[in-house]
Copies of this chain bind each other. A is one copy, B any other.
Amino acid sequence: MNTSEAPEIRNIAIIGLGLLGASLGMSLRGQKLNRLGWTRRPEVCTWAQKNNVIDETGELEYILKKADLTVLCIPIPQIMNFIKTYRNCWRPGSIVTDIGSVKAVIVNCGEKELQPLGVNFVGSHPMAGTEKTGPYAAFEALYNNAEVFVIRTDNTSAAAFQKVSDFWESIQTKVVEIGVKEHDVLVAHTSHISHILALSLTEAVLDCPEAERKLRFSGCATGFRDTSRITSSSPQMWREIIENNQPAVLEVVKEFEKRWLHLCELIESKQYDKLQSEFAKGKNLRDRWINYKNTEHDCNW
């Protein structure tokens, strides 16, 4: 497929109007685009139209047929089911992307189901979200300055890749091109492992006899609030993410344990100078990262 076959994007379909989908609609306000939106609950479609989150809703078949670009903003298993169920609804030449947190399973499915029909699938993963869920947690700035991974495989159409990248950049994100496997290993490090950690921490601190809980509640302050924040995320979503990226997650589990055990050994053997050096190393690494986000991405963190 060459560039001329990829349509200019005038009609964009947002499937799923939860935190990610509804925020996407909001972030597209003011662009010369027709935002078609669909979600299971009709009252959410009504809310989305009333609040300038989408311009139009309707039957799924109508929306998918009309869309130049479809963004699937639904949970990982649903993305794959949706593609299989509605594969014949899209126009040949149109482009489908998604916002799923793992990419190998989704991109494999999308390419397998859609490419034979002449529909382009390009996987995306915007590094945006909060611990909240649902349309009413959405806000226009969710994607501001976020990095968006856009997947290029051997099967990816260069024109479709470019269109998807341009689309993400139109809402103030930074596109990073990456391969599927590389992506899944990367986010196991930078995102998935944190959820297992935050959960273990929350349980170690708050899963205590009821009589002690009030005191534990008192002892938790802003440090715990932030370290544990993502424990308040959707249990189902995180189960699905880890389920669909298990080998990479287990790899990072080992990497984390190596660091953890070393620090615990330093504490056990009272090697506090070395412990302090580790704290200094960690601070330096994190401060460099914060500086990178603030200077190169205007994050103001």
Among listed A8-16, A23-31, A123-131, A163-171, interface-contacting one: A123-131
Asked if B190 and A279 sit within 8 Å, CB to CB, the answer is: no
Asked if B226 and A196 sit within 8 Å, CB to CB, the answer is: no
- Cα separation A31 to B108 with both chains bound (whole Å): 66
Copies of this polypeptide in the complex = 2
| A268 contacts B by Cβ under 8 Å | yes
| A86 contacts B by Cβ under 8 Å | no
B residues in contact with A301, CB < 8 Å: 225
B residues in contact with A238, CB < 8 Å: 276, 279
- Cα separation A182 to B120 with both chains bound (whole Å): 61
Least Cβ–Cβ distance between A4 and chain B, in angstroms: 32
Which residues A170-221 have CB closer than 8 A to chain B?
174, 176, 178, 182, 186-187, 189-191, 193-207, 215-221
| A55 contacts B by Cβ under 8 Å | no
Asked if B222 and A129 sit within 8 Å, CB to CB, the answer is: yes
B residues in contact with A194, CB < 8 Å: 201, 223-224, 227
Known contacts A194-B201, A199-B263, A267-B250; A221 and B127 CB within 8 A of each other? yes
Asked if A219 and B186 sit within 8 Å, CB to CB, the answer is: yes
Asked if B189 and A219 sit within 8 Å, CB to CB, the answer is: yes
Task: Please name 16 further chain A to chain B contacts, defined as beta carbons within 8 Å, in addition to the given A127-B220, A191-B224, A246-B270, sorted by A numbering.
Answer: A127-B221, A128-B222, A199-B282, A200-B260, A201-B256, A204-B255, A206-B288, A220-B289, A225-B290, A225-B301, A231-B285, A238-B276, A239-B272, A243-B270, A250-B267, A253-B264
